Structure 1
Amino acid sequence: MATRPGPSLVLHRHSPQSVEILAPLRAGVATSRAALAKATGLSPSTVASRVDELIRQGHVVERGQGESKGGRRPRALEIRGDAGLVGCVDLGVDRASFGLVDFAGILVAERHVEIDIAAGPRPVLSEAVAQLVEMVAALPEAATGVIRGISVGVPGPVSTTTSRIVSPSRMPGWNGVSVAEVIQRELAVPVIVNNDANLMAAGELFGTDDQPAPPHQVFVKVGSGIGCGIVSDGQLYTGSNGWAGDISHVSVPGATAVPCSCGRTGCLDALASGNALVREMQLAGFEVAGVEAMIALAQDSHPVATGLLRGAGVMTGGVLATIVNFFNPDRLVLGGVLADSAVFVAGVRSTLYADCLPMATEQLVVEVTQHQGTGGLLGAARVFLDQVFSVEGVG
């Protein structure tokens, strides 16, 4: 993996003084020395000194002229995107997404392939590394770079204290596995691992040019399984051990006692996930290859598919109503394959507004993700880069 020569890059840690400059610069709040002085309250000379140091470290670069507000036009500052690449991996049960994101947070390449998570950690993660290496080699000459680290999302719980996968229901052979250790046998770079729904929630922090991301969000991944990630005050919240937001094993009141992989019955995942819906469809005598086929049938007004999808939305909305009443988010986002079903989304939305307190939904926005297919990659990059541009850094 080749890279253009450039200044040495500080990856391990930043001083609190540097982070104070990096935060508004990364957020786009300030893009000049003068704007940084205003945003931070620091003196212009202090800002200039810290910016010069970040330029020497290879994280910040000057690009032409900024917008003039009277007088001389300021020099525009930005994070140096070509300082490196983050290799991003979003693993699912039967498919995976791979991406390369530069240090400015721009997704420069992506790839989506079928996998079998049950093949085990060694072959799956070896294939992930091979995919990333191939993607770097395929970049145009003007965009070549080096992978500075890898950020991985997995469809199972990940302990924030040990970074190991814990009791995953759809990942046979992965319990207790350190994804970082397996990957680092093949590529000696820092590796961060997280639950896929958490990373998709972090991906929602990328707003649009005219609409910044709300600071309090709940993201719900509704695919073959159900997962949830929480953003509080603009930061991903994972709780004390990493389990915050796990609604998949919340009991659905009054529901059928369907056995769940956790050993209990009536869990949301066992009743409303994509796998559960396909099972119910097949038990009703309709052979469908997957939940995508069910969604297609519902679009043609198939009564059984429509009823199952709407029922799943109602059950999911009922569980989420408690979350919304408790957390009072600005935005609830639906992602995953079931978010492509208008019937499912309508069931979630109508139940939320029926079951929540009016004050909890007065300003609540319920919508489908703007980053379907890439949210996990963007979130993986954001989590890694947040660590890079922090006092702790990455090891």
Structure 2
Amino acid sequence: MRRADSSSAYAASGAGDLLQLLRDERPRTRAELAKLTGLARSTVGARVDALLATGLLAPSGEAASTGGRPPARFAFNPSARVVIGADIGATHGRLALTDLSGRPIAEIGQPLDITTGPGPVLDWVVSASQQLLGEAGREPRELIGVGIGLPGPVDHSSGRPMRPPIMPGWDGYDVPEHVRHTFDVPVLVDNDVNIMALGEHATAHPDVEHLLFVKVATGIGAGIISSGRLHRGAVGAAGDLGHVAALHAPQVLCSCGNTGCLEAVASGPAISSSLKDLGIATASNRDIVDLVRGGNIPAAHAVREAGRMIGEVLATCVSLLNPEVIVIGGSLAQAGESLIAGVREVVYRRSLPLATGSLQIVAATTGEQAGVIGAATMVVQQVLTADRVDSVIARQSAS
């Protein structure tokens, strides 16, 4: 998004650029827009009219009159179109129908086994999307895109999973093409932790330029926001913390074939294994969380120790990336302060004071909605760029 304090930057902008300014949902008059952008009143009027015709802009009352007829105000209309955001985990699926600001309108979720393969899982995504559209009274033509998060490495440019360790049958599968058999819209796919980072950033930390989102659940991964943008790396593998060697950890065999990986010693299944050795049975991450919240001391100690091991890896990340905020999310983050206390204990001790002086390590605020909000945000960020909006207006004008 271009900054409003550079009038020369707006002088040659089109309607798409004007929309970027208005996406803060603050109502403005044509005169205010002309003053803010440096554009002629007639140019602003033409571009406002073009945006009104798309429905992306809508009237928003009147400004105070200084004599004569009060000037009309206009604001971004996030309800003009809808987006599907899908968060697919190892054992769950969650979908949300959102508006163009990423706010959920309707949601659905259920247990889902990623190992059943792409066909059954994506068929559920499609059928659940149709259900949400129907429940919300929205037509398929109002859908502008589908965003999907998957629990493994993804080539974001093609939407194909890349050798995902816990997703048999998914390697190289054309996820967007499968969904486009039903919905002829852009379908964007990314790693589930990346979309959670986008969701938390957009919802809770929009002004933070450098953020690290860490998901601790069945697996462990990180989403990296650098200079306000998601960093995916060369092949979409950036942030794969789960397979970084954990310092001082036992040499437990990991699903990737190596030993001593962080995921093998600090994830939900690893904590369950350590509790089993103590005679405490847990069948899921939720069981671990319930034990900690219920005051079970061995469970709280196991979760805190996992936090310490995660903190040792994150201390390196702090020195390398220098984030302003580290957000701890995922199902195990719901175990109260035990996990985060362990992370903080090690990060603040091992990292340099310069890097940690203003560093915040906090729990995620978006909870189970982080993934679906982030998936929708990923779509909106691509579909509502200035160039794409101008293309839509040009097609409407030509038709």
- TM (norm. structure 1) is 0.87
* SS of match in other structure, 1:228: strand
Q: Does 1:373 align with 2:368?
A: yes
| Contact 2:165–2:255 (8 Å) recurs in 1 | yes
Aligned amino acid, residue 356 of structure 1: S
Give 5+ residue unaligned stretches, structure 1: 1-14
Q: Does 1:246 align with 2:243?
A: no
Q: Does 1:162 align with 2:164?
A: no
Q: 1:383 aligns with which of 368, 378, 385?
A: 378
Aligned amino acid, residue 370 of structure 1: T
Q: Does 1:176 align with 2:176?
A: no
| Contact 2:94–2:107 (8 Å) recurs in 1 | yes
- Segment of structure 1 superposing worse, 326-335 or 307-316: 326-335
| Contact 2:246–2:313 (8 Å) recurs in 1 | yes
Q: 2:322 aligns with which of 321, 325, 328?
A: 328
Q: Distance in 1 between matches of 2:231 and 2:36?
A: 25
The Cα offsets for residues 208-234 of structure 1, whole Å up to 9 and x where unpaired, read as: 6xx753222111111111111111222
Aligned CA RMSD, in angstroms, stands at 2.5
1:195 corresponds to: 191
| % same residue | 37
Q: Distance in 1 between matches of 2:166 and 2:66?
A: 60
Q: Does 1:99 align with 2:83?
A: no
1:360 corresponds to: 355
Displacement of 1:34 in angstroms is 4.5
* SS of match in other structure, 1:256: coil
2:55 corresponds to: 58
Aligned amino acid, residue 116 of structure 1: D
- Segment of structure 1 superposing worse, 37-46 or 232-241: 37-46
| Contact 1:20–1:40 (8 Å) recurs in 2 | no
1:308 corresponds to: 302
Kindly tell me: are residues 57 and 295 of structure 1, through their superposed partners in 2, closer, same or farther at Cα, counting changes over 3 Å?
Answer: closer
Q: Distance in 2 between matches of 1:58 and 1:186?
A: 24
Aligned amino acid, residue 153 of structure 2: P
Q: 1:267 aligns with which of 261, 272, 277?
A: 261
Q: Distance in 2 between matches of 1:365 and 1:44?
A: 45
Aligned pairs for 1:294-305 (under 5 A) are 294-305=288-299
* SS of match in other structure, 2:237: coil
Q: Distance in 2 between matches of 1:360 and 1:34?
A: 45
Kindly tell me: are residues 128 and 160 of structure 1, through their superposed partners in 2, closer, same or farther at Cα, counting changes over 3 Å?
Answer: closer
Displacement of 1:276 in angstroms is 1.6
* SS of match in other structure, 1:186: coil
| Contact 2:319–2:352 (8 Å) recurs in 1 | yes
Kindly tell me: are residues 324 and 114 of structure 1, through their superposed partners in 2, closer, same or farther at Cα, counting changes over 3 Å?
Answer: same
Displacement of 1:47 in angstroms is 3.1
1:152 corresponds to: 148
Q: Does 1:339 align with 2:336?
A: no
Q: 1:284 aligns with which of 262, 278, 281?
A: 278
Give 5+ residue unaligned stretches, structure 2: 1-11, 392-399
Q: Distance in 1 between matches of 2:317 and 2:26?
A: 31
| Contact 2:27–2:73 (8 Å) recurs in 1 | no
Q: Distance in 2 between matches of 1:147 and 1:393?
A: 15
Q: Would you tell me which structure has more helix in proportion to its own residues? A: 2
Kindly tell me: are residues 280 and 213 of structure 1, through their superposed partners in 2, closer, same or farther at Cα, counting changes over 3 Å?
Answer: same
Displacement of 1:37 in angstroms is 4.3
The Cα offsets for residues 323-348 of structure 1, whole Å up to 9 and x where unpaired, read as: 12222222111111111122111111
Q: Distance in 1 between matches of 2:221 and 2:66?
A: 50
Q: Distance in 1 between matches of 2:321 and 2:26?
A: 27
- Segment of structure 1 superposing worse, 86-95 or 46-55: 46-55
Q: Does 1:117 align with 2:111?
A: no
Q: Distance in 2 between matches of 1:76 and 1:281?
A: 61
